[in-house]
Structure 1
Amino acid sequence: MSRSTDMTGRVSPESPERESSAMSALVLEAPGVVRERRIPVAPPSSGNCLIRISRIGLCGTDLGFYDGSSNYLHDGLKSFPFVFGHEWCGRIVETGSGVVGFDVGQRVSGHNFRPCGNCPACGRGDLRYCPGRSEIGVLGQAQGAAADYLEAPADTLVRIPDSLGDDVAALLEPASAALHAVRRLAVTGADRVAVLGAGTLGVVAAQLCRALGARVDVFDPQPEPRELAAELGFPVSVPENAEADRYSAVIEASGSVAAARSAPVLCAPGARMAQLGTPHHSVDGFPVADLVIKNVTMHAVLSGIGCWEELITFVESGLVRLDPLVDSAFSRSEVGAAFQRLASSGRRRPKILIRMS
């Protein structure tokens, strides 16, 4: 059957891309329980695109939902059951009326914030600060990407060039947050940068800083992440070997309590610091006095909205490599094994992917 479109350019429901009003989705129903369920799917509303999902990436946030440890669950910001997944890529199969700049067949990814559109923050265009926002697969009721299809506003999307494969495209969401951190610190070739944590965020941040000419040292307590950072050409060591008062820029990218405590200590007088990782608990013993005495500027980093196009330029040029971050990819029928692999220790490469199509 050939594809047909209506007068708005939207693919008609009878097209082979979406033949019914229901789709298959991976629903997280309770800690450790994921089932494939049929849920509704409809043509995209005005300004939105319907995307056939190809890959999703799993991260620590997803693992916190899977094992029940997530603060989002404990604080009542998310509840079972829900479709998880917030790192994704796919291909547009339908466009709603008013969509400009995107066409059926294009590969896309995009950020996951769904602001209310009515508050003062939204009026200023400060989407990160919308108090009523949802984040797909994470916060609020917005459906996650672990499904056949995802409906997304066109203004949240970015086109994926043919030079980037689906596995790499699914990693752009976390990588964009690392670029946000680097830009907040205004890293230049004059900087000496310490990156704490050699997971996804840390390794991407380190590559970005190096691409900007900075000298970069990477620290991680585990040997396997250190091996990955060394493979990518960085000086690596354990955190205990990091020198105090040495670095003009420090990026805490692990979210560990120990790393958060040590980051201010590594800052030289007048340094800038970015808290890119998210600790899951309060950080007792955080050395505020070090920040004050050394006049450190500290940035807390949320999301990579606004950084995607620049990030893709870095990745296309080869200055940032995302493919070495992928440990393994599982089919959607192997979702339990994917989470088990995500939870396992001793992985040299941090990212687990699920092939949705």
Structure 2
Amino acid sequence: MKIITVVGARPQFVKAAVVSRALQQHSNMHELIVHTGQHYDTNMSDIFFEEMQIPKPAYNLEIKESLHGMMTGKMMMGIEQILLDEKPATVLVYGDTNSTMAAALAASKLHIPVAHVEAGLRSFNMQMPEEINRIVTDKVSNLLFCPTQTAVNNLHAEGFTQAFYNIHLTGDVMYDAAQFYFERSAPRIIEQLQLKPGAFILATIHRAENTNNIAHLAAIVTALNELHKTTEVVVPLHPRTAKLINQLDIKPAFTIIDPVGYFDMLQLLHHCVLVITDSGGLQKEAYFFKKFCVIMREQTEWKELVEHGFATIAGSDTRHILTQANEFLTGSFTGEAALYGDGKAGENIANILEKYLN
């Protein structure tokens, strides 16, 4: 049975690595990877395939358009032709990117079953392109692999029923990845940057709601600058964000580094004292490594983190970011990773796929 996996952005490479490894344990399933090219520079793409030993993509569409409609349309055209040529038994997609939705739409129009990993996530903010992508993808998918009970509940609330959809609570593949790859990583990034373990804050900024709004971005830079006066703030900076920050009147005083590979990010998470981010995935990874997280958004898909006190929503307000960060810096983290399964999500997904396809 042939499975086409479509990826295009950094978090998807990590998730696909987990499931690809599990699929290799099933001799009757053959996976081909399609890379849309959505993240295309070396640190955002190639390094992940090399470090994580993900099978090299059978196809690379190299689509680098910036406009959502143009990008999605070109992806659909390229993926459709691959599906017509390869005739897979199913198409496997991850998360909530343009690559995810393009693949799901192309496959569903060809009546090829779609399996969606990270189904059911909702921020309830339709201004986010990711929210549109995940809703559309869920609607046209045949297999919905949910990382949490909250995600299952979201689908049920929207009228998804077991009679018409195959909904499965699998656990979170990112938890699998964090466990598996941290054991294979080394603290070279900590040594290279001469960071003191437990004495620096890890921050990332990349969401459109922050980078497309100069006022939001300036407020975030101001907050990180202020925190950096007492606790070093380290920011692996997305190329697009770096370009925008250079246009601000407020100059960053914190430590800026190039985007890092997954192994280095795991080490930064392990050794930091706090995480401040607008990333969805990094919120969970902070929890996996028992670090509090300040969320620089107005909502989160991972509301269980907030409900249990492991994360807080601060938006892009300078004062809120500082207040929440300082509270967490004096707090003590206690908690287990049971919120996201037992580290066998990839295995669960592969087993369900095999049963479904048979």
More strand by share: 1
More helix by share: 2
Settle same-fold status: TM greater than 0.5: no
TM-score, normalized by length of structure 2? 0.33
